C-alpha cells in the first residue's frame, strides 16, 4: 500500500511499485505536500471549466509549478528533461546517464524538501504510472488511484472504484424512491377516481373499516393487472397492500389531495 500525502490507493505491483513504496516511506509531510501540489496541478490540466475531465488533455506545460520542478531537477542532472504537452522528453548529456535506480537510491536522503519533491515528481513523470494516476473528484474522498481507462472522457471527473460503486448505489436508490413515489401517486389517483364522492361526503372516511376494505380490494386488483404497480408492490417479497397501508396518515392525505385535484379539475 502506498500513499501520497496519506491518500494514495493501493498499487498492484510491477516495475513502478518500488517508486510508490518509496513514497509510502517518506516521513517528511512537507515534502509529501509539495509533491501533491505538483501532481494535483498537473492532473487538473485535464479538467475543463465545466468539470468534464479528459486525462488525454493533461499538459505539463500548463502546470507552472510542476514545470519549474522538472526544470530545477534537470539542471542538476546528467539527463536533460524537457517538458512537452505529451510529457517529458529525455536527452542524456555527455556524462554517464542517470538511471531510475540512481534516482531511487537518493529517495529518503536528508535533502531539502523542495529537492526531494522535485526528484520524486520527475521520477513519477518518467514512470509508467505517469499515464495511470488519477484523483477521485468526490469532495469527501480525493483519493489517488490507478485509472484503468485513461482514453475516455469523464463527465463528472474521475472517481475511485469505491466512490463509483457508492454513486451507483445512490443513483439506484434515487431511482427506486422515484418509482415508489410515482406508484403511490397512481394509487391515490385510482382511489380518487373511484371513490371521490364517498370520501368527499364523509370527512372521516378513513375510519370506516368497510370502505377501507373495499378500497384495498379495488387497489389490489389494479396492482395485479398493472405491471408497473406490481413491480413495486408485488416484488422483493412484498405481497401487495393491506388495510395498514390506508392506516398511514401519509396515504390518507395523498388520497384526499388527489380527490381535491379531481373535483377542481
Task: Compute CA distances 219 → 89, 212, 214, whole Å.
Answer: 72, 10, 9
Given a cut of 60, whether residue 153 has pLDDT beyond it is: yes
pLDDT tens digits for range 94-144: 555 555 555 444 444 445 778 888 888 888 888 877 788 899 999 889 888
CA distance 28 to 8: 16
Rounded distance, CA 233 to CA 52, Å?
A: 39
State the pLDDT at residue 143: 87
Distance set, CA 98 to CA 6, 90, 111, 117 (Å): 29, 10, 18, 17
Q: For residue 44, what is its C-alpha cell?
A: 487538473
pTM, whole model, 2 decimals?
0.56
Residue count of the chain, please give it.
265
Name the phi and psi angles at 135, rounded to 5. Answer: -120, 135
- Note the helical H segments in the chain: 17-24, 29-44, 64-75, 100-106, 113-126, 161-201, 209-225, 227-233, 243-247, 249-263
pLDDT digits (tens, 9 = 90+) for 12-69: 444 444 455 445 444 457 788 888 899 999 999 999 999 999 999 999 999 999 999 9
* 81 beta partners: 90
Least confident of 88-97, 206-215, 246-255: 88-97
**DSSP state, 16?**
T
Q: pLDDT confidence of 90, banded at 50, 70, 90?
A: low
Nine cell digits for residue 245: 397501508
C-alpha closest to that of 158 among 141, 180, 182:
141
- pLDDT given for residue 11 in this prediction: 39
pLDDT on residue 111: 54
pLDDT in tens, 209-244: 999 999 999 999 999 999 999 999 988 788 899 999
Torsion sign (Cα): 123, 129, 130, 136: negative
Distance CA 200, CA 210 (A): 16
Amino acid at each position: 500500500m502506498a500513499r501520497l500525502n496519506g491518500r494514495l490507493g493501493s498499487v498492484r505491483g510491477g516495475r513502478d511499485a518500488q517508486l510508490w513504496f518509496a513514497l509510502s516511506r517518506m516521513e517528511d509531510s512537507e515534502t509529501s505536500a509539495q509533491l501533491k501540489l505538483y501532481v494535483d496541478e498537473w492532473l487538473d490540466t485535464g479538467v475543463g471549466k465545466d468539470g468534464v475531465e479528459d486525462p488525454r488533455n493533461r499538459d505539463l506545460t500548463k502546470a507552472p509549478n510542476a514545470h519549474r520542478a522538472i526544470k530545477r531537477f534537470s539542471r542538476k542532472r546528467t539527463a536533460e528533461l524537457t517538458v512537452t504537452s505529451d510529457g517529458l522528453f529525455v536527452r542524456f548529456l555527455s556524462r554517464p546517464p542517470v538511471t531510475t535506480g540512481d534516482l531511487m537510491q537518493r529517495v529518503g536522503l536528508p535533502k531539502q524538501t523542495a529537492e526531494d519533491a522535485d526528484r520524486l515528481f520527475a521520477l513519477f513523470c518518467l514512470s509508467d504510472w505517469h499515464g495511470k494516476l488519477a484523483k477521485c473528484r468526490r469532495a469527501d474522498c480525493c483519493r489517488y488511484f490507478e485509472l484503468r481507462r485513461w482514453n475516455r472522457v469523464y463527465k463528472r471527473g474521475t472517481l475511485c472504484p469505491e466512490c463509483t460503486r457508492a454513486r451507483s448505489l445512490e443513483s439506484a436508490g434515487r431511482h427506486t424512491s422515484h418509482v415508489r413515489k410515482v406508484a403511490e401517486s397512481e394509487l391515490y389517483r385510482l382511489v380518487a377516481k373511484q371513490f371521490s364522492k364517498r370520501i368527499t361526503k364523509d370527512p372521516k372516511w378513513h375510519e370506516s373499516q368497510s370502505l377501507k376494505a373495499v378500497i384495498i380490494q379495488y387497489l389490489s386488483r389494479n396492482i395485479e393487472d398493472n405491471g408497473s404497480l406490481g413491480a413495486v408492490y408485488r416484488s422483493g417479497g412484498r405481497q401487495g397492500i393491506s388495510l395498514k397501508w390506508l392506516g398511514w396518515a401519509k396515504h390518507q392525505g395523498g388520497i384526499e389531495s388527489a380527490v381535491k385535484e379531481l373535483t377542481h379539475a
